[in-house]
Structure 1
């Protein structure tokens, strides 16, 4: 479809130029604020050449296009040739902004999406290194490969984007909120300061206002907490700049944001971490002992939520205790089945999408999730489609139920969240453990994918009506 025809179709969807109150541009999407939503015309969606995804919520019609450049071109054409009102950055308190619906999952996905190329690239490097290592063990069993300088260098390169994820997420959030990206980078990078690193690694004990700073780096580097801190920073920045004398604008907001937010973030996460350490792990442990099948099903269903919140470490002591006392763990396989659910949902998004860029992103995200790198599938694909995210949770729960009923276990702690390359960990001589594990993983993948495909189709039909 050519550019002129695309803009014409979008105007038709909006119900004509006169029905467009304003337009916003954000990454790969434009949002049309309609005067009367009943005038919207979605008949163009039946045309095979129209490939944009549309979400109509209230008076706002969000149209996700093929790429950022296409979205920007359409936005510029609408605000130029069609004389459509451009919603400026400063119109935060207008009625147009007040009517805007908000989705937490969609916001997190939008923040993560610009980082996707580097995260996927690093993930593929990790996958290639894992395949090389596996083949090396099968062919020569030479342990010296991991000590090779080039192997270590590539491994460090692959781990760098994930290691620096708090900073990358902070900058991306600030860019989306149009706030100071350097203040955001400072907030995200605070945990890398050597003294703070020792606090979070447990090498040193620190207390803030009587609250102990919990030694769990995963909690402080998790995506939602970083995003919340940067959102608070953007809010403070706007409030302070609107009230501060001109001489203190900019620098005053930066100083106060850092001085107020960093201690508050440490204090809040310290309280959350203390609660998780004292209660959540104990609750999960007692559930595993009293109702192991139910526990495996629930952990498999909600493990990705624990990972997103940065509190997945609470099940590590349970896994270690299982292996040291019984010689195997029934909790560890839940990581595998949860990630396979997200891989299945991401693949279904690719099959349903008519946008080339979305297809490519979702396919690659599904592949790297199956091979042990789930972040792109969770954050960039499934979170942007709430149906896919919830289907992944349900698929993980059903796969976990099967694994719990068949007592699938692992005797060795794996280094990641689980992948196809680690299926040999399920092999037990004289048992069907590996067969039941493969069935459980397939159930999770298929259920999540089938649900996503079916529900996405039903949603598309309801929009067309």
Structure 2
């Protein structure tokens, strides 16, 4: 990979430097905050050398790169005016709901501090392993210094988070660090340790522990960002250097100690207690569910949303159940990719599969997930199954993590050292082997080698000479509006193409017309969706909105019935756009070809605004037609 060329192409295709609000990277992804996500050409980006896939999480635009992401990121910074501390004020032009905003903040705050947490976590794990093996004694000075190195980042975590949160909220990171330092000051800690009544200016200060906590400092810096900006706005330029930080500290620190801090500590405790309650009472089922779905969580980029929960779990309870599930998910992906490597006949793809399997075992799972397993589909399902099987054992044995994981792979195994360590190791092996076996049993459509592609192309040319019937079918747009990729649909059933390939439209009018000449197969009782079959055999599902089935037909009117013949452009459904949106439902409308497997390819023909009746999808020659021709 030419890192500079890849960086330049990425920067151009995300809408140019002027469209980039900020960019950071995690272990495998470039994470952009763009002013306008619609300016990013996702289809072209995914064709760039080195890009494994793309994702939009909340408002954050993500590109999956894999192991080479630090080098690509470095070239992006070098070839532009961007930096790690690029302007984070302002924001995307797109509207965000509360949940998306929260996830965006969590991801944006924790991603920059991950190297520090990862390094410290690894040192804590190695120290624990050396102690277990008898290499070190807990009374030795070497052990104590290693413990200090490993614990430092976690004890003073509020300071790291304060700096990162201030950059995210657009305030001064050094004032934020001073707020966190005050909360961790030895004098305050000693006052809390002594107990008794504590007050500030006559107001009671609630005793709370702030070291290694997450929520109190995030709330404090969020408030500080507003206080600082307000004071800055009303203060004369000549006095800002002294007045702004002074008043911000005098207001925010006491407010945090009296109200916000204790509230955050209580929320953190409840969060950890609730997670422990779920695993202690749901046991095996909770572990199976989390392990079996964690790869899907990684796909959304929301795995970093678990970081504050993990930290609180270990700080409050001394252990965590989420990290073990992450281990199982990674080993499931590794096992599936390994089976692909064993079974594939394509030498280049076989080599890629072996490499990504090893990478996943070492803790970086996305190259295996996006480059191999999701590409072949069935191995990805096998990876989820393998992780869930490992989760069953972890649930029975009550496997926990006792230290924050730096890397969720072989190098990070020391974090699992505890009474259940043998079961932890066996569970990882079980997830790997199960995923590999299921992949072998399910099979997959192998990637053709260049020679095979040439042969196949020649054969197809001969068949095309024989085939005299129509070679493709064009589906017209049933709705006027803005086209969107299925990947942007919030319902994973559509976004992951489980129902079939197609596209989505955000309607500008409340009317659905027939995109084909054919027959109405099904009109749902709730009138929010309709199934059609064209005269050429295409099976089409038009689903107006997400979760609109819950409206029970309210705001929808059907103009046809099941079993009737329809022609292209004939009105099928009408709906009240404003009323449905006012009820809180997303109106994005997937248009799906449910018999996708019968076609060589399904290509979107429209981008951006589309009119009713305009060409929307091209359905390539069905496999059945090719077989009949041969």
Q: TM-score, normalised by structure 1?
A: 0.59
Name the CA shift for 1:256/1:308 in 2 (closer, same or farther; >3 Å). Answer: farther
C-alpha displacement of 1:42 = 0.7
Match of 2:122 among 102, 124, 130: 124
**Does the Cα contact within 8 Å between 2:198 and 2:205 map onto a contact in 1?**
yes
The aligned runs of 1:29-40 (5 Å cut-off) are: 29-34=31-36, 40=41
Aligned partners of 1:27 and 1:71 also within 8 Å: no
Indicate the residue corresponding to 2:238 in structure 1.
Answer: 247
Could you tell me how far 1:240 is from its partner in structure 2?
1.4
Select which of 240, 262, 266 maps to 1:270: 262
Tell me the alpha carbon deviations over residues 124-155 of structure 1, each in whole angstroms, 9 at most, x when there is no partner. Answer: 33333222222227xxxxxx832222232222
For 1:164 and 1:178, locate their aligned partners in 2 and report how far apart those are by CA, in whole Å.
Answer: 22
* Deviation per residue, 1:56-88 (Å, 9 max, x gap): 5799855577234222134349xxxxxxxxxx9
> Structure 1 172/270 Cα, relative in aligned 2: closer, same or farther at 3 Å?
closer
- Residues 62-211 of structure 1: pairs in structure 2 closer than 5 A: 63=63, 66-67=69-70, 68-76=73-81, 89=87, 92=90, 97-99=92-94, 101=96, 102-136=100-134, 145-200=137-192, 202-208=193-199
CA contact (8 A) 2:22 2:34 kept: no
Other structure's SS at 2:50 match: coil
Contact in 2 for aligned 1:395/1:448 (Cα 8 Å): yes
Aligned-residue offset at 1:263: 1.9
- Distance apart, 1:249 and its partner CA: 1.4
Post-superposition Cα deviations, 1:252-295, rounded to whole Å, max 9, x if no partner, equal 22122212211222223324556888x8999899x79xx96437
| Total equivalences in the alignment | 371
Q: Which residue of 1 aligns with 2:419?
A: 425
Structure with greater strand percent: 2
Gaps of 5+ in 2: 26-30, 291-304, 338-351, 366-384, 406-411, 439-491, 504-602, 605-630
Q: Post-superposition shift, 1:340? A: 0.7
Matches within 5 A, 1:300-379: 307-308=309-310, 310=312, 335=320, 337-345=321-329
Structure 1 partner of 2:282: 294
Aligned to 1:431: none
Is 1:23 the counterpart of 2:20 in the alignment? yes
C-alpha distance in 1 between matches for 2:401 and 2:88: 50
* Contact 1:122–1:161 (8 Å) recurs in 2: yes
The verdict on how the C-alpha distance between 1:265 and 1:210 changes in structure 2, with shifts beyond 3 A counting, is same
Cα offset for 1:51? 1.9
Query: Root-mean-square deviation (CA), in Å?
Result: 5.4
Q: Give 1:107 shift.
A: 3.0
Shift in CA distance, 189/445, structure 1 to aligned 2, threshold 3 Å:
farther
Q: Following TM superposition, by how much is the alpha carbon of 1:163 offset from its aligned partner in structure 2, in angstroms?
A: 2.0
8 Å contact kept, 2:327–2:428:
no
The answer to whether the 8 Å contact 2:89/2:169 transfers is no
Change (3 A) 1:415 1:60: closer
| Preserved CA contact (<8 Å) 1:60 1:100 | no
Cα 1:8–1:154 shift into 2, 3 Å: closer
1-structure distance, mates of 2:88, 2:273: 48
User: Who wins on radius of gyration, i.e. which is larger?
Assistant: 2
Partner Cα separation in structure 1 for residue 101 and residue 173 of structure 2: 23
Q: Distance in 2 between matches of 1:216 and 1:60?
A: 33
Equivalent position SS for 2:224: helix
Q: Distance in 1 between matches of 2:266 and 2:57?
A: 39
Pair 203,162 (structure 1): closer, same or farther in 2 beyond 3 Å: same
Q: CA deviation at 1:239?
A: 1.9
Quote the offset at 1:217 in angstroms: 3.8
- Secondary structure of 1:27's counterpart equals strand
Rate the CA distance shift 1:299–1:248 in 2: closer, same or farther, 3 A.
Answer: farther
Deviations 1:198-240 (A, max 9, x none): 244x33334457656234345xx42233233223222222221
Paired position in structure 2 for 1:385: none
Tell me the SS of whatever aligns to 1:216: coil
- The alpha-carbon deviation at position 424 of structure 1 amounts to 6.0
1:226 to 203, 211, 217: 217
- Partners of 1:439 and 1:154 lie apart in 2 by 29
1:216 aligns with 2:209: yes
Give the Cα–Cα distance (whole angstroms) in 2 for the partners of residues 108 and 261 of structure 1: 21
The CA deviation string for residues 101-134 of structure 1, in whole angstroms up to 9 with x for no partner, is: 4543343333333333333333333333222222
Looking at structure 2, the residues matched to 97 and 159 of structure 1 have their Cα atoms a distance apart, in angstroms, of 37
| Counterparts of 2:308 and 2:401, CA distance in 1 | 18
Does structure 2 retain, via aligned residues, the 8 Å contact 1:296–1:401? yes
State whether residues 297 and 399 of structure 1, in contact with CA within 8 Å, keep that contact through their aligned partners in structure 2. Answer: no
Asked whether the equivalents of residues 31 and 60 of structure 1 are also in contact (C-alpha less than 8 Å), the reply is: yes
1:382-393 to 2 correspondences below 5 Å: none
Contact kept in structure 1, 2:22 and 2:32, CA below 8 Å: yes
Structure ranking higher on relative contact order (CA contacts 8 Å, 6+ apart)? 1
Greater helix share, structure number = 1
What SS does structure 2 have at the residue aligned with 1:125?
helix
Deviation at 1:313, TM superposition (A): 6.2
